[in-house]
Amino acid sequence: MSSYSRVALVTGANKGIGFAIARELCRQFSGDVLLTARDAERGRAAVQQLQAEGLSPRFHQLDIDDLQSIRTLRDFLRREYGGLNVLVNNAGIAFKFDDPTPFDIQAEMTLKTNFFAVRNVCTELLPIIKPHGRVVNISSLQGSKALENCREDLQEKFRCETLTEEDLVDLMKKFVEDAKNEVHEREGWPSSAYGVSKLGVTVLSRIQAKKLDEKRKADRILLNACCPGWVKTDMAGDYGSRTVEEGAETPVYLALLPPDATEPHGQLVRDKVIQNW
């Protein structure tokens, strides 16, 4: 029975950084590695590729934009493993620099996947994270840059230690609404949907870590956001300066923090170093 096996899960793991993270976890994590992807065919092809390298991940379909898909995965994890040990929230989207899609559509679609869907995954899966579990939310220093480019009153709201998850959701919704009404710049937002979405992920990570401390302190779960750097993937194209393997280093480091570790927690980490933002 695999009921009590340890399990690590990576979202959006059929290519790019997610694939590199899954590969490294297959090598280093003592337990099963669940490679998830929206497209089952691509996900299974990725699993076969790793099997050809002598590794043995498992596959489970997951479309983070679909709440039912998240819940199906949650039920599977409960049934097969009695919970989850490591969660790496990697799945995300980014429009190319020269994409002609109107900004309001870019804002809506980017926030839908990169913030609201990631939050849904956390809402459903954090309650089943086991003691000494590790949660890694892939963010970006683009989020920190977006914060710097926000108007001062917005910056204060995002940095506020008492900001709740609901407050953060309202801020993210306001950005999308302001973009739709073509007033986002007037309202103090930067013109980077990706940056705002990742700012949301970084702040969400801080809030969730605090919640874990309040409700499950004894379980010593560590939750962090991280920036993998500008990596050569479909997302970044040839602009990337790092390999996917280099991009996977910090997420894997955070996913495998030893059981007695107490930090980092609720931080934004790049190159294994906590970032001020």
Helices 16-28 + 244-255 axis angle, to 10: 50
Starting at the edge strand found earlier in the chain, the sheet holding 273-274 runs 58-61, 32-37, 7-10, 84-89, 129-138, 222-227, 268-270, 273-274
Which DSSP string do the residues of 110-176 spell out, in sequence order?
HHIIIIIIHHHHHHHHGGGEEEEEEEEEE--HHHHHHHHTS-HHHHHHHH-TT--HHHHHHHHHHHH
- Cα-Cα-Cα-Cα torsion 171, 176, 182, 183, nearest 10 degrees, comes to 0
- Do 35 and 13 form a contact (C-beta atoms < 8 A)? yes
Cα three-residue angle 51-52-53, rounded to 5 degrees: 85
At residue 239, what is the residue type?
Y
Token readout for 22 is 């899954």
How do 129-138 and 222-227 pair as beta strands?
parallel
Q: How far apart are CA 93 and CA 8, in angstroms?
A: 22
Residue of 4, 194, 239, 253 marked catalytic: 194
Q: What is the DSSP letter of 223?
A: E
Annotated active-site residue 194? The verdict is yes
Residue 54: burial class (beta carbons within 10 Å; 0-12, 13-18, 19+): exposed
Q: How far apart are CA 22 and CA 19, in angstroms?
A: 5
Q: Which residues are catalytic?
A: 194
